[in-house]
Structure 1
């Protein structure tokens, strides 16, 4: 696996940030996420096309033989970090990481991957019945031959997807299927969500025709690996959002005056900013540990859970503190504080709540304790 140099990481980050600043400033994010047409809401197609074709965000994690750059999750995390800072309404985690990662684990998906690389199509993954923590018993879709039946809720970026990568139960075993989102028997209904930059949908299959994609490894294992990568990349996105929240809070604390002095000079505000910085560094370390694990070690499961729990709680705490530092204006629609709070609360439950991941860590610790008394 090729590793990005420090200079390459900086150049990639600068390219993604420049694209987001130019094409997706805050007013554009608001427009796409909350004011767009129903079928387009939460998906900035213009920004996504530029990121795919000019920056190459969909290709950096793919093997070179498939037209990619051959980098791992750490490179994907560089992109995610910048997208998290700007709350960019694009299906990076849903399409470029999760759905693409699943397709990479199958045979015969080259044509689909090519379209995803070019940004011509987007994909969404249908894994569980509630979009939460991956467990094989929570699979919502069943297969009878090439026909799928079932209902999956909270499918991330499901309404904008052209292709669906579905994990279904087929004759008592799990299998991977590819489905055209516009095929007969497929119904996709956009859900009301807290965070418009994270659109979700309910996907219903009624004897929908699907193509089974053969796999070498057991499907449960390959899904677990892919979800660990997605969680690790999501944690980098959360770190980026947390970093930006701290910048917004400290800038406001320096410029907002009360009693003829900046509010940042008051001890209570200083403490909140200091706590936000500690949370940010804690999250950064946890995210980095998870990314290194999914690229280089076999400890990705517990490190991904650690990153998900730590980064979710850190971003949530920082977003709440930012609202409090802004005072009354922080509760208004006109201020950006609530946008990051919405993202924090939504990311908190994606792929499992922090408590569920702390439980996974606890179970891992119990196993280690019994193995090494």
Structure 2
């Protein structure tokens, strides 16, 4: 399996880095932490003009016809820049899920607008138990004539304040894998309300409440009671692709740390000349490269239509470790300045903690990996 980037992917990587360094510096990210919307509309429009939202969608639906690996390359650069906004939810958790399991009507209705950036999407999956599993879907829904009605609440819904379209799994019958139904609803549908949640990353996350929301059956994704396989594939894709975001963030932190240790003088010489500091930086490189390799291997298997549970689990564990450990080690090597709000490093550190929790902590993924190896 050749995981080297193609010439076109290298060009995408370099152009994305140049654009984000210019248009999304840490000063903008810092400002967006206090912004009500959470991202600048002009940046979203610029990204749409570059075709980024449509990168992984087919050309016949208004996209660029790229691959999941192309998208991962772009997401790695976005993680490096801490890009604020609803790109991941719009493209990955909503757009690719509709493309995977949507009816012809749903694909024609939503994909061109998602690919152009005209429509913003988000997924409302987690409930009080915060499980990314079939047992985590308990919000009750009921079919009544030609509509699906449901009430309840979902937690940690990203960018719900600006979402035009929400993907909402509910339970219409049964238990476990059976009886999960996925609804597509407008973000401003009658009966939808939301309240902001505090996040250590200071991004836009919400508790979304649904009060007798009614959805026509043509807006059910994947069939009544048959939504879990669709949601499982969606979560698998999202987990693997979000690992690329983590790898990008960790890579930037490593580069910041190496540059700082070259400049920071102690005992008459740069601290980068001390062996223990060099060992820490070398360990950071090893952790990041391992996570990157595992991430792109998992994505390659998804592209090829192969089973990737083991590879996704390994990528998630390694990406969690790489991002968290790299930022914490960087904090130590920077010393006291790293803990100052005015210094940029703490922004990556906070996002590393959120990334560790998103799409499951390392524990459940270690369990999946162990089972795939026949160890449990």
Aligned-residue RMSD, C-alpha: 2.0
Distance, in Å, in 2 between the alignment partners of 1:241 and 1:113 is: 29
Which residue of structure 2 lines up, in the alignment, with residue 155 of structure 1? 157
Counterpart of 2:220 (choices 213, 216, 220) is: 213
Distance, in Å, in 2 between the alignment partners of 1:262 and 1:47 is: 39
Distance, in Å, in 2 between the alignment partners of 1:289 and 1:327 is: 36
Distance, in Å, in 2 between the alignment partners of 1:132 and 1:64 is: 36
Which residue of structure 2 lines up, in the alignment, with residue 113 of structure 1? 111
Distance, in Å, in 2 between the alignment partners of 1:237 and 1:86 is: 10
Distance, in Å, in 2 between the alignment partners of 1:90 and 1:231 is: 18
Which residue of structure 1 lines up, in the alignment, with residue 46 of structure 2? 50
Distance, in Å, in 1 between the alignment partners of 2:73 and 2:159 is: 21
Distance, in Å, in 2 between the alignment partners of 1:8 and 1:76 is: 12
Counterpart of 2:317 (choices 309, 319, 323) is: 309
1:90 to 1:19, Cα distance in 2 relative to 1, 3 A: farther
Shift >3 Å, 4+ stretches = 130-133
Worse-matched range after superposition: 98-107 or 318-327: 98-107
Conserved 8 A contact 2:221-2:227: no
Distance, in Å, in 1 between the alignment partners of 2:274 and 2:32 is: 38
Provide Cα deviations, 1:68-100, integer angstroms capped at 9, x if missing partner: 222221111011010011101022222111111
1:127 to 1:242, Cα distance in 2 relative to 1, 3 A: same
Normalised by the length of structure 2, the TM-score is 0.90
1:131 to 1:159, Cα distance in 2 relative to 1, 3 A: farther
Worse-matched range after superposition: 339-348 or 87-96: 87-96
Provide Cα deviations, 1:189-212, integer angstroms capped at 9, x if missing partner: 12100002x421111101012243
Worse-matched range after superposition: 75-84 or 204-213: 204-213
Asked if 1:61 is matched to 2:66, the reply is no
Provide Cα deviations, 1:18-39, integer angstroms capped at 9, x if missing partner: 3212221111110012x213xx
Distance, in Å, in 2 between the alignment partners of 1:214 and 1:60 is: 22
Provide Cα deviations, 1:279-309, integer angstroms capped at 9, x if missing partner: 1111111111111111114222221111111
Distance, in Å, in 1 between the alignment partners of 2:126 and 2:165 is: 17
Asked if 1:82 is matched to 2:87, the reply is no
1:149 to 1:237, Cα distance in 2 relative to 1, 3 A: same
Normalised by the length of structure 1, the TM-score is 0.91
Which residue of structure 2 lines up, in the alignment, with residue 184 of structure 1? 190
Distance, in Å, in 2 between the alignment partners of 1:20 and 1:228 is: 27
Alignment of 1:1-373 (within 5 A): 6-33=6-33, 35-37=34-36, 40-41=37-38, 43-52=39-48, 54-104=49-99, 105-107=101-103, 108-109=105-106, 110-130=108-128, 132-145=130-143, 146-172=148-174, 173-196=179-202, 198-211=203-216, 212-215=219-222, 218-366=226-374
1:346 to 1:135, Cα distance in 2 relative to 1, 3 A: same
The unaligned stretches of length 5 or more in structure 1 are none
TM superposition shift of 1:142: 2.2
State how many pairs are aligned: 360
